[in-house]
Amino acid sequence: MKKVVKTIAALALLVVGFFALTMSTSTTASAASNKSYNQIYKVAKSHLGARYVYGATGPSAFDCSGFTSYIYKKGAKTTLPRTAQAQYNHYKHVSYKHIKKGDLVFFGWSKGSISHVGMYIGKGKMIDAQNRGVVREAVHAPWWHAVGYARVTTD
């Protein structure tokens, strides 16, 4: 009987230890993600007001996907595909309900005709390059039709 109790106690400690290790690992990964977002946002914010030019990739003028590519490259050393449609096709999609700071927000007529991209910055807002230049604005503005959202992996 004592052997059974010791075995159960050892298994319980093993399970508790496993969950403690798992929780600490996920906390560390989350903190790294926040650090990465902060760097990307810092780069993006430094370009507020930059001109919009179709096909431009920075640093003084951007188109929408040129801007998202630029800020991820400078802020997280991550290379994104060049066009908004290619960025949409490349990354794992998330629902608006699960969107996080740093996720990409895509606009257009449908999932097959993406025409614009911005980066989500929280509280229903994004930063993007559009005809008024690089600005912060609402994701669900009346002039945009949100088609989808994607999470960029920076690891």
Catalytic annotation, residues: 64, 116, 128
Quick one: CA torsion of 125, 126, 131, 133, rounded to 10 degrees? 110
DSSP classification of residue 50: P
Q: Determine the Cα–Cα distance for residues 19 and 13; give it in Å rounded to an integer.
A: 10
Helix (H), strand (E) counts: the chain: 3, 8
Handedness of CA 120, 124, 129, 135 (dihedral sign): negative
91 closest CA partner among 148, 51, 26: 148
